[in-house]
Amino acid sequence: MAKDMSYEAVMARNAEIMKKAVGIDYSEFEYGTIAFDYERMMRETGYSLQEIERIQQETGVGNTPVYELRNLTKLARKFAPKGKGARIFVKDEAANPSGSFKARRAATSCYHAKKLGYKGVIAATSGNYGAAVASQAAMRGLKCIVVQETFDSKGIGQPEIIEKARKCEAYGAEVVQLTVGPELFYTFLVLLEETGYFNASLYTPFGIAGVETLGYELAVEFREKEGRAPDVVVVTNAGGGNLTGTARGLIKAGATDTQVVGASVDLSGLHMASDIHFNRKSFTTGHTGFGVPFATWPDRSDVPRSAARPLRYLDRYVTVNQGSVFYMTELLAQLEGLERGPAGNTSLAAAFKLAQELDEDQIIVVQETEYTGAGKHIQPQLTFAKENGIRVEIGDPADEVPGESIILPKDPSYVKIKELDLNRMRRSYIRNCIQSTDVKKVTQEDIDFLVEDTKSSEEFVKSVLDEFGVEY
């Protein structure tokens, strides 16, 4: 009898398909009503840091250079109070084989897939991760399929996503391009079931553990060069894996005093699953449309329990506008001679402003760059925005309205950040936990888990539980 491939039937088999495609029984780590043993999941299904370093070295991943951005530091000090203006550094992850830090995640996932005997890997991503998986799969002799959300209902695709499809195909991957909507996850599940390939998800313990080497390298490199770990590390935040892995690596290196700041492009008001809004944004990742929902409910991802849990590690979370990121991209190229893509320049825009709050002898690090190319470049992005009715102006970025305008700062003093309320996000996360489990009473184990997962206190967690009428 033929298997039922209807949308409802495939979605109902989600857990079964995922178990076969990842090789993890997530139920082994669950206890209490809400809680699960996150650290045990990372420990038992991941690799040691030393093993991951060896795995990544086999395919030329990691040990990327660090540059001091002396000219941008001088510029920041012009607009900072006297004695302020921290030294700005950047870790050049564009030096990885596929041009981004995501090679670290892909290296671990593809190695693990090969080790377990899978013939191929599949990744659902419209971003740099697809190219990273395709590149690492080619090095490991694995087949690769990348599923992309590429077009709106009119068949119009974003230039950056289309370019990434070409990059994936250049590495020998098959690219399946879809319109925006629920068909992405359905198609992903169908392909996993039909091929028996490994789910090279962004959110498995293997993928997150792969990024730990980045944070670890930062702490070690700065201790060697500057005699201490960085004071602040700024991480572009989308699904949370970059921030989670980097923070875990810093902790493993003993850099527990380093402040971890997340940065996203402010796309508030735009819905990421909206056909109308899809082409009215100029950033495909590193924006609030991913950063906020995934922080407040990590388990919305393509695995039952996401290993990317940014609220566990965030000290601050700030946003910048689209125009400031484009502006900072130009400054990086023209003042420092580094032409890089928009993802890393999101955190660079934030770091430029944050540096002005810090003392001159302090160190702030932008922990990644990404490659740039035809579709990721400023000009095609702004041209595409204009074609979709977006006004592009020079002025005050505070006046920018996502989906309606892109405002480039009139001078560097207009590069600003907006602080997001972490306690509000923690409350949203706890609310989502309650609603997803329909829980009426929680155990002490659940409370301890929520304290860890929100980097808060028992008092805070209990106050939120009281607000929603949950007993403990």
**pLDDT, average across residues 207-233:** 97
Position 343 scores a pLDDT of 93
Per-residue pLDDT tens digits for 388-416: 999 999 999 999 999 999 999 999 999 99
Q: Which two tokens stand for residue 150?
A: 């590429």
Q: Are 53 and 33 in contact (CB under 8 A)?
A: no
* Parallel, antiparallel or unpaired: strands 418-419 and 316-320: antiparallel
Question: Does CATH number 3.40.50.1100 belong to domain 7-54+100-205?
Answer: yes
Contacts of range 393-401, beta carbons closer than 8 Å, 24 or more positions apart: 397/320, 397/321, 397/323, 397/324, 398/321, 400/266, 400/321, 400/322, 400/323, 401/269
Position 422 scores a pLDDT of 98
Per-residue pLDDT tens digits for 266-297: 999 998 888 889 999 999 889 999 999 999 99
Q: Using pLDDT thresholds of 50, 70 and 90, give the confidence band for residue 216.
A: very high
Number of Cβ within 10 Å of residue 264's Cβ equals 28
Q: Using pLDDT thresholds of 50, 70 and 90, give the confidence band for residue 80.
A: very high
Q: Are 97 and 138 in contact (CB under 8 A)?
A: no
Q: Which residues, including other chains, have CB under 8 Å from residue 274's CB and lie 6 or more apart? A: 180
Asked if the model's pLDDT at residue 36 lies above 90, the reply is yes
**Residue reference for tokens 């070409």:** 166
Q: Using pLDDT thresholds of 50, 70 and 90, give the confidence band for residue 1.
A: low
CA distances for 363 relative to 86, 99, 286, 345, angstroms: 6, 25, 23, 18
What is d(CA 82, CA 360) in angstroms, rounded to the nearest whole number?
9
What is d(CA 462, CA 170) in angstroms, rounded to the nearest whole number?
52
Contacts of range 272-279, beta carbons closer than 8 Å, 24 or more positions apart: 273/180, 273/181, 273/182, 274/180, 275/152, 275/153, 275/179, 275/180, 275/181, 276/152, 277/403, 278/152, 278/158, 278/180, 279/152, 279/156, 279/158, 279/384, 279/388
Nearest Cα residue to 190 out of 8, 415, 364: 8
Q: Using pLDDT thresholds of 50, 70 and 90, give the confidence band for residue 302.
A: confident
CA distances for 136 relative to 8, 51, 57, 59, 205, angstroms: 33, 17, 12, 7, 17
Q: Using pLDDT thresholds of 50, 70 and 90, give the confidence band for residue 101.
A: very high
Per-residue pLDDT tens digits for 123-165: 999 889 999 999 999 999 999 999 999 999 999 998 999 999 9
Asked if the model's pLDDT at residue 420 lies above 90, the reply is yes
Q: Are 126 and 164 in contact (CB under 8 A)?
A: yes
Q: Which two tokens stand for residue 76?
A: 């920041």
Burial class of residue 96, CB neighbours in 10 A (0-12, 13-18, 19+): buried
Q: Are 354 and 234 in contact (CB under 8 A)?
A: yes
- How big is the chain, counted in residues? 472
The H or E element spanning position 310 is none
CA 133 and chain centroid, separation:
15
For the chain, what is the radius of gyration of the CA atoms?
21
Q: Which residues, including other chains, have CB under 8 Å from residue 297's CB and lie 6 or more apart? A: 428, 429, 432, 436
Domain ranges (residues) in the chain: 7-54+100-205, 62-96+209-419, 429-467
Task: Provide the mean pLDDT of the chain.
Answer: 95
Asked if the model's pLDDT at residue 455 lies above 90, the reply is yes
Fold match between 7-54+100-205 and 62-96+209-419? yes
Q: What percent of the chain has pLDDT over 90?
A: 89
CATH of region 62-96+209-419: 3.40.50.1100
Asked if the model's pLDDT at residue 45 lies above 80, the reply is no
Nearest Cα residue to 349 out of 76, 67, 66: 76
Helical residues (DSSP H) of 388-468, grouped into ranges: 422-437, 444-454, 458-467
What is d(CA 147, CA 434) in angstroms, rounded to the nearest whole number?
32
Q: Are 85 and 77 in contact (CB under 8 A)?
A: yes
Q: Which two tokens stand for residue 433?
A: 């936990």
Asked if the model's pLDDT at residue 46 lies above 80, the reply is no
Q: What percent of the chain has pLDDT over 70?
A: 100
**Residue reference for tokens 């001091």:** 68
Dihedral pair phi/psi, residue 113, rounded to 5°: -60, -45
